[in-house]
Amino acid sequence: MTLDDDVAAAVEQIRRERGIGVSQAINELVRRNLVEASRPTKPFRQKTHALQCRIDVSNVAEALELAEGPGYH
């Protein structure tokens, strides 16, 4: 198994703090992540605002032409 530098540093830190081996430290990190991942998260909610556009933006090309002028490309 090849560990990225940040993961290897975390393993080494736990290993030194607790006086445990590499395998045990990796297992602890994996278990900790499994517990974190199993916790319910708040669902994503997109915030919207009424912009009160004065131009129709349903056709992007027309909206750009209106905003930038007829020569806009």
Domain residue extents for the chain? 5-38
The DSSP letter of residue 61 is H
Q: CA 22, CA 27: separation in Å to the nearest integer?
A: 9
pLDDT of 38: 78
Tens digit of each residue's pLDDT (9 = 90 or more) over 13-37: 999 999 999 999 999 999 988 888 7
pLDDT of 7: 93
Under DSSP, is residue 49 helix (H, G, I), strand (E, B) or coil?
coil
pTM for this predicted structure: 0.50
DSSP string, 7-42: HHHHHHHHHHHHT--HHHHHHHHHHHHHHHHHS--P
Better-predicted residue by pLDDT, 73 or 47: 47
